[in-house]
């Protein structure tokens, strides 16, 4: 992620310009619905076609997958597995936030700490998190604890690094403002540092959440921790292709929901940020 | 000069202290899980360099990684360019793309094993699939966010379409494409390891997991150390390539800021 | 215009050292600002005006000499002083409403209801009574600078410092803001120290213009401006004396008299200062 934030450019003698929005021409709603429907139909046609060509041992037909999905959602195992995966993902993410964000904010506000931790953090974050699966298995066995340790280790780095960056990017003018108006340390953190760090922290959280879900599934798949990943692994053993595909669809939906929730949180919390805010009202 | 030494000291003291701490704390360790670091280091040299597991386990992993990643990069950038230049098409396909992108890539592993089997083809496919999405999405976004002024320049000087594509659009999207490529690379590394952990007879991932299952704990640690170093190495190589490609970019002209490149 | 000195700078000097090289920015400045007085400080780009202002605001500790406000040495964040930053777009907090921005300096000093009342009346003072619940970024540049002025007013300072406050607004807005600041001073009786490149602006606004020049900077001249308290954009600037003063200041600064506004100076001094 390039998380460099651009400071809004104020042109001499003009109102602050609205943030340069993506230059896409949004087709009108009617057209969009038509074309998106066409795309969905085409996708399913392609899927059906590849199933016919490659055989349903490789690519089961859409109908088969949806039938498998429909029978899955009636079973208790499915819901337990889903709930377990969601719980461990969120738990891991929560711990990662609780560790990474405060540490990053503290480290980022000191030049000494930033320089001192640079190499260690840089090394630790490049270790592929799944490397820890054997160690975590050894210590905790195939359990949620093992999974959470893995998720925390993998997703803490983007949070930590974004927090460091966020603190360092607080506009020096803001610091002057807090000095000139004699704001207390508390008030400075609440009114200036945290809000201006929020865009970076939320970006970090989005990166972290993708990693967390990936690792949750990986820990289940390899480490046999309970959850969707384990169910997928079991379908592989039983060679139930359609059910395996159905689980992949479920895992993807989980990812989509996670993304949507975080995107909504971003829009809501960063209403003031140039990338989100609506057009100027008064003039 | 002295300030350079000062900076180096500042950056190195913590890693040195941490390794020393590990070394001395584990020196007399009798725990089966945490063998002395000295033994791990000896074992690392022994297993990987003397017994030659570097060539029997690391090389195949790296080759598969490279193939899968190269496919993802080529196809991802090419399709990303296409979709970036055809906003209507992208808009129509957006829901499908967002859905496929959200698949936690390890989830397709069992499917790939059923469909393709346990060979290297399967691994390369899984890596290519998983690392394709961040590259595609970032390329599209990069192409679409070309500064309108830059586009106007290209039009005003009547540049030929090929020139416009390769000298204007692609370079201006490069920072974002590389950001995607970086995410893709870490996903690719995770995928190669996970794919080796679930049903392979060689490769780094298989080595560490097998070591753990056989309670060859020192071997497991040595494998983890090799993995950590490889991860770091791959990252450094990426960073060098990136800074070469983005020489013109302000973030690199100022002197790279390490956190920026996350 | 009172005669009591509010701000007193004596032997004020400042130097930076970067990579072992020490550069003296401010020589040894002596000046006072009287109670209720409007002082404009002008000088060529890079002369150290912003450094001086940062010293006055307590954001930068001068290397030599002293500054006192009402006889007390300046402390970081002195309640007798307040500051209007040059860059309104960056000095207002985008996540707070206009009202909350203005009330912010009062946090911890007054109960909530009082904070609100004082902020509202400061905003009325600058003519922004009707956008209290808007966000700064929903306003035009000129309006944002008014918010910044209201924020400076709300602490009821003895001295308001302004760092090129109108450098990035258009000519019409600029004149309106100049008159607003004059009106606020006449009404509130505080002293104003305003830093600008613009000689016309300095002469139009000030009771006294201090010209800085040289390297390190010294006070080149202390020019009283005899137009009284009530000024008018067209009439005042049309006075023959206005032209004379303008020529004189131009000569002192050494700027070519072509009517051009010098480019905004955002040189190193401020950046350097921010790092200290």
Instruction: Provide the residue ranges of all domains of chain C, joining segments of one domain with +.
Output: 5-80+159-275, 85-156
DSSP state of C227: S
Q: Of B140, B183, B179, nearest to B260 (Cα)?
A: B179
Give C104→chain A minimum CA distance, Å: 8
Residue A181 C-alpha, separation from nearest chain B C-alpha, in angstroms: 31
**Contact assignment for C137 to A272 by CB distance below 8 Å:** yes
B121-162: per-residue pLDDT in tens?
899 999 999 999 999 999 998 888 877 777 777 777 767 777
**For residue B197, pLDDT beyond 70:** yes
Give the pairing type, strands C72-73 and C81-84.
Answer: unpaired
Instruction: Name the residue facing B114 among A116, A214, A241 (closest C-beta).
Output: A241
Nearest Cα residue to C40 out of C194, C178, C248, C261: C194
Collapsing DSSP to helix, strand or coil, C219 comes out as: strand
Determine the Cα angle at A55 with ends A53 and A61, to 5°.
Answer: 95
First to last CA, chain A: 35
Mutate to test the interface with C, among A166, A177, A190 (most CBs of C within 10 A): A177
Contact C87 A10 (CB under 8 A): yes
Rounded to a whole number of angstroms, the distance from the CA of B179 to the nearest CA of chain A is 5
Long-range contacts (CB closer than 8 Å, 24 or more residues apart) made by C269-273: C269/C16, C269/C25, C269/C46, C269/C48, C269/C50, C269/C51, C269/C54, C270/C50, C270/C51, C270/C54, C272/C16, C272/C18, C273/C50, C273/C51, C273/C54, C273/C59, C273/C60
- Centre a 10 Å sphere on the Cβ of residue A17 and count the other Cβ atoms it contains: 12
Residue A69 half-sphere exposure toward CB, CA atoms < 13 A: 15
Is residue A239 within 8 A of residue B114, CB to CB? The reply is yes
Token code pair at residue A190 = 């609440």
Q: Do C85 and A173 touch (CB under 8 A)?
A: yes
The closest alpha carbon to A85, from A209, A230, A260, belongs to: A230
Q: CB distance C93–A195 less than 8 Å?
A: yes
Residue A256 to residue B113, Cβ atoms within 8 A = no
Do A131 and B220 lie within an 8 Å CB cutoff?
A: no
The token pair at A61 is 């037909």
pLDDT in tens, chain A (283 residues): 333 333 333 333 333 333 344 444 555 777 888 888 999 999 999 999 998 998 888 889 999 999 999 999 999 989 999 999 999 999 999 999 999 999 999 999 888 998 888 888 888 888 888 888 888 988 888 889 999 999 999 999 999 999 999 998 888 888 888 888 888 888 888 889 999 999 999 989 999 999 999 999 999 988 888 899 999 888 877 878 889 899 999 999 999 999 999 999 988 888 888 777 754 443 3
Q: B144 vs A134: CB contact, 8 Å cut-off? A: no
Do A130 and B187 count as a contact with CB atoms less than 8 A apart? no
CB atoms within 10 A of CB B148: 10
Alpha helices for C57-170 (secondary structure H): 88-91, 98-103, 112-125, 141-153
Task: Say whether A181 and C82 touch across the interface (CB within 8 A).
Answer: yes
B92 with A38: Cβ contact below 8 A? yes
Min distance A37 CA to chain B CA atoms (Å):
8
Q: How far does the CA of residue C78 sit from the closest CA of chain A (Å)? A: 7
- Contact yes or no for A282 and C141 at CB 8 A: no
Q: Which residue of A has its CA nearest to C97?
A: A272
Strand partners, C29: C12
Interfacial A residues in 242-281 facing C (CB < 8 Å)? 272-274, 277, 280-281
Among B94, B235, B262, the residue with its CB nearest the CB of A1 is: B262
Nearest in space to B87 (alpha carbons), one of C52, A54, A2, A35: A35
Cβ–Cβ < 8 Å for C181, C227: no
Distance from CA of C226 to the nearest CA of A (A): 31
Interface probe, candidates B98, B103, B104, chain A, greatest A C-beta count within 10 A = B104
Kindly list the residues from chain A whose CB atom is less than 8 angstroms away from the CB atom of residue C265. none
Q: How many CB pairs under 8 A join A and C?
A: 106
- Contact state of C274 with A172 under an 8 Å Cβ cutoff: yes
Phi and psi at C232, nearest 5°, equal: -140, 135
Cα separation, B23 vs A178, whole angstroms: 46
- For the structural domain made of C5-80+159-275, what CATH number should be given? 3.40.50.300
- List per-residue pLDDT tens for chain C, 276 residues long: 446 778 888 888 888 877 778 888 888 888 888 888 999 999 888 788 888 888 888 888 888 888 888 877 876 555 688 888 888 778 888 888 999 989 888 887 788 888 899 999 899 988 888 888 888 888 888 889 999 999 988 888 888 999 888 888 888 888 888 888 888 888 888 899 999 888 888 888 989 999 888 788 888 888 888 888 888 888 788 888 888 888 888 888 875 444 444 444 433 333 333 333
Nearest CA distance, A122 vs chain C (angstrom): 26
Check: CATH 3.30.300.30 for A64-269?
Answer: no
Contact check, Cβ <8 Å, C85/A176? yes
- CA of A259, closest CA in chain C: separation in Å? 24
Q: What are phi and psi of C68, to 5 degrees?
A: -120, 150
Contact status, residue A164 vs residue A118, Cβ threshold 8 Å: no
Report C:126-155 residues touching A (Cβ under 8 A): 131, 134-135, 137-141, 143-144, 151, 155
Q: What is the pLDDT of residue B200?
A: 67
Using a CB-CB cut-off of 8 Å, the residues of chain B touching A36 are 91-92, 94-95
Q: Is C82 on the interface with A (CB under 8 A)?
A: yes
Exposed e or buried b for every residue in B220-236, given b needs 16+ CB within 10 A?
Answer: bbbbbbbbbebbbebbe
Query: Does residue A3 contact residue A165 with C-beta atoms inside 8 Å?
Result: yes
Closest of A8, A13, A283 to residue C140, by C-alpha: A283
- Cα–Cα distance measured from residue C51 to residue C211, given in angstroms and rounded to the nearest whole number: 15
Q: Which residues from chain B sit within 8 angstroms of residue A245, using beta carbons?
A: 111
SS (H, E, C) C142-165: HHHHHHHHHHHHCCCCCEEEEECC
**C-beta of residue C105 within 8 angstroms of C-beta of residue A176:** no
C105–A14 C-beta distance less than 8 A: no
Q: Is B258 helix (H, G, I), strand (E, B) or coil?
A: coil
Q: Are C43 and C253 a contacting pair, CB within 8 Å?
A: yes
Strands annotated E in chain C? 5-18, 21-34, 38-42, 64-69, 72-73, 81-84, 159-163, 191-195, 208-213, 218-224
Q: Which residues pair with C222 in a beta bridge?
A: C210
- Cβ contact, residue pair A174, C93, below 8 Å: yes
Q: Is B72 a residue whose pLDDT tops 90?
A: yes
């Amino acid at each position: 992620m390039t998380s460099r934030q651009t400071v809004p450019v104020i042109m001499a003698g003009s109102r602050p310009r609205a943030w340069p929005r993506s230059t896409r021409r949004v087709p009108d709603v009617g057209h969009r619905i038509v074309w998106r429907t066409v795309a969905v139909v085409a996708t399913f046609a392609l899927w059906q076609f590849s199933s016919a060509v490659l055989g349903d041992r490789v690519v089961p037909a859409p109908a088969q997958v949806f039938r498998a999905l429909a029978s899955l959602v009636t079973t208790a195992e499915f819901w337990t597995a889903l709930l377990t995966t969601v719980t461990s993902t969120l738990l891991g993410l929560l711990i990662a936030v609780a560790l990474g964000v405060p540490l990053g904010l503290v480290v980022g506000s000191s030049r000494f700490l930033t320089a001192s931790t640079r190499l260690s953090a840089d090394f630790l974050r490049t270790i592929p998190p799944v490397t820890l699966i054997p160690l975590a298995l050894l210590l905790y066995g195939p359990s949620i604890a093992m999974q959470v340790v893995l998720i925390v280790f993998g997703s803490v780095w983007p949070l930590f690094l974004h927090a460091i960056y966020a603190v360092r990017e607080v506009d020096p003018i803001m610091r002057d403002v807090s000095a000139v108006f004699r704001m207390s340390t508390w008030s400075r953190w609440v009114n200036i540092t945290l809000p201006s760090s929020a865009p970076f922290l939320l970006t970090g959280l989005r990166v972290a959440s993708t990693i967390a879900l990936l690792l949750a599934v990986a820990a289940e798949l390899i480490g046999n921790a309970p959850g969707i990943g384990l169910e997928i692994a079991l379908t592989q053993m039983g060679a139930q292709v359609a059910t395996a595909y159905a689980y992949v669809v479920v895992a993807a939906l989980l990812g989509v929901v996670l993304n949507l929730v975080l995107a909504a949180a971003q829009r809501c919390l960063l209403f003031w940020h140039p990338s989100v805010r609506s057009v100027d009202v008064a003039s | 000069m002295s300030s350079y030494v000062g900076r180096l000291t500042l950056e190195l003291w913590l890693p040195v202290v941490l390794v020393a701490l590990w070394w001395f704390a584990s020196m007399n360790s009798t725990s089966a899980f945490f063998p002395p670091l000295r033994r791990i280091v000896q074992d690392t040299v022994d297993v990987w360099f003397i017994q030659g597991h570097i060539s029997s386990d690391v090389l195949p992993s790296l080759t598969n990684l490279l193939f899968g990643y190269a496919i993802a990069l080529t196809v991802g950038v090419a399709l990303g360019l296409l979709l970036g230049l055809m906003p209507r098409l992208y808009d129509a396909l957006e829901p499908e793309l967002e859905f496929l992108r959200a698949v936690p890539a390890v989830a397709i592993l069992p499917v790939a094993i059923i469909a393709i089997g346990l060979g290297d083809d399967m691994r390369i496919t899984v890596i290519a699939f998983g690392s394709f999405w961040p590259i595609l999405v970032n390329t599209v976004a990069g192409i679409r966010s070309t500064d309108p002024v830059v586009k106007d320049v290209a039009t005003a000087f009547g540049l030929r379409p090929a020139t416009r594509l390769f000298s204007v659009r692609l370079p201006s999207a490069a920072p974002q494409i590389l950001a995607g490529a970086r995410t893709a690379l870490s996903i690719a590394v995770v995928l190669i390891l996970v794919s080796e952990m679930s049903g392979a007879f060689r490769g780094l991932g298989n080595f560490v997991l097998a070591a753990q299952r056989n309670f060859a704990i020192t071997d497991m640690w040595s494998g983890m150390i090799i993995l950590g170093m490889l991860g770091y190495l791959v990252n450094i190589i990426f960073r060098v390539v990136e800074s070469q490609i983005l020489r013109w970019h302000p973030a690199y002209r100022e002197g790279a800021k390490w956190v920026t490149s996350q | 215009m009172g005669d009591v000195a509010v701000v007193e700078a004596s032997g004020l000097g400042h130097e930076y050292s970067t990579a072992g090289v020490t550069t003296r920015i401010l020589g040894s400045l002596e000046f006072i600002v009287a109670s209720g007085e409007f002082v404009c400080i002008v000088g060529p780009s890079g002369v150290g005006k912003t450094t001086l202002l940062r010293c006055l605001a307590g954001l930068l500790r001068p290397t030599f000499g002293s500054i006192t406000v009402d006889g007390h040495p300046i402390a970081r964040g002195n309640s007798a002083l307040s500051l209007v930053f040059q860059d309104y777009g960056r000095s207002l907090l985008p996540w707070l409403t206009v009202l909350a921005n203005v009330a912010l300096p009062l946090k911890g000093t007054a109960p909530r209801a009082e904070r609100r009342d004082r902020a509202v009346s400061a905003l009325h003072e600058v003519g922004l009574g009707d956008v209290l619940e808007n966000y700064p970024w929903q306003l035009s540049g000129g309006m944002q600078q008014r918010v910044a002025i209201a924020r400076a007013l709300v602490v009821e300072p003895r001295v308001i410092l302004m760092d090129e406050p109108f450098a990035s607004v258009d000519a019409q807005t600029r004149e309106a803001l100049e008159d607003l600041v004059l009106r606020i001073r006449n009404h509130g009786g505080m002293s104003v120290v305003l830093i600008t490149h613009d000689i016309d602006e300095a002469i139009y606004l000030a009771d006294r213009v201090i010209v800085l020049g040289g390297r390190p900077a010294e006070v080149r001249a202390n020019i009283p401006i005899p137009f009284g308290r009530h000024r008018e954009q067209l009439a005042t600037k049309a006075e023959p004396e206005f032209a004379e003063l303008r020529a004189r200041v131009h000569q002192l600064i050494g700027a070519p008299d072509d009517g051009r506004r010098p480019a905004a100076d955002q040189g190193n001094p401020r950046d350097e200062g921010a790092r200290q």
